[in-house]
Structure 1
Amino acid sequence: MRVHVCAVGRLRAGPERDLIDDYLTRFDRTGRALGLGPAQVHEVEDKKGGGMKAEAALLGRALPDGAVLVALDERGALISSPKFAERMAGWRDDGCADLAFVIGGADGIAPDLRNRADLKLSFGQMVWPHMLARVMLAEQLYRAAKILSGSPYHRT
């Protein structure tokens, strides 16, 4: 199952980019034997300043056809890392070819796109900068692969 991180904005070189690249590389290595990955990042940028609606259109074009869609949203479900891993394994086992995570811009994800999501996922009630949300997602993807592989990386 290919994993796509579709995000508004371009991340420049720096510590956040390094963390994302590291965790996604680890995810790819661990996930390969589990039928997870590779992971790809698709960055979109609304250069015309069209707001959430324009960002949603750009994100929509980045989404693979038929992908299971997970929207990162502060109003989404709070789930544990083991439950997240179970959910990913379930989609994989159900024959999902593509799993896409969407991270909106500064104002979030347009309601039309958010409502299309198969899962709305929250990293807590606090609002996180988009670059840190990407890091947290990349780490959770790696953690999910480690959980599914039976590794002691994750401790409950």
Structure 2
Amino acid sequence: MLLHVIARGKIGRSPEAELVERYARRISWGFKVTELPDRGGVIPVPTATPVRTVALDERGKQLASTAFAEILGRWRDDGVRETRFLIGAADGHDAPLRDGADLLLAFGAATWPHMLARAMLAEQLWRATSILSGHPYHRDG
């Protein structure tokens, strides 16, 4: 299954970009990042079907790493070809996008900078795929 991060804003060359790259290299599944401008731009049409959409949103579910991995594993096993992870701009996502998402995901109650959220997502995707492959490194606590 392709893990496709679609994020508003350019990460450029930054410590956060280095973290995203570090975890991207470790992910054993297909992984792709698409950057959109802060405003405007069109979310790309899915290249595969079926597709699931996860929107990072402060109103979303806070999931343990194992629960997140279970969801991705179930979607993979159900034949989902691509899961798209949407990271919005400073104002977040509009209601239609949130309503259309298969999952709203939050990284806790705190507000995170978008570049750091992208790095955190890459780490959680690496962790989830590691859990699903039986890799021993992982903790929920």
Q: Distance in 1 between matches of 2:48 and 2:22?
A: 27
Deviating above 2 A after TM superposition, structure 1's stretches of 4 or more consecutive aligned residues are: 61-66
Contact 2:48–2:81, Cα closer than 8 Å, also in 1: no
Q: Specify which of 16, 30, 33 is matched with residue 41 of structure 1.
A: 33
Q: Specify which of 89, 105, 129 is matched with residue 145 of structure 1.
A: 129
Q: Distance in 2 between matches of 1:14 and 1:122?
A: 23
Matched, 1:120 2:104: yes
2:59 paired residue number: 75
**CA spacing shift, 1:76–1:84, aligned 2, 3 Å:** same
Q: Name structure 1 gaps, 5 residues minimum.
A: 32-36
Deviations 1:75-128 (A, max 9, x none): 001110000001000000000001000000000011111111000000011110
Q: Name structure 2 gaps, 5 residues minimum.
A: none
1:17 paired residue number: 17
Matched, 1:2 2:2: yes
Higher helix share: 1
**CA spacing shift, 1:152–1:65, aligned 2, 3 Å:** closer
Q: SS of the counterpart of 1:106?
A: coil
- TM-score normalized by structure 1? 0.84
The residue correspondences of 1:102-121 to structure 2 (distance < 5 A) are: 102-121=86-105
Deviations 1:3-47 (A, max 9, x none): 1000001111121101001101101xxx2xxxxx2100000014x
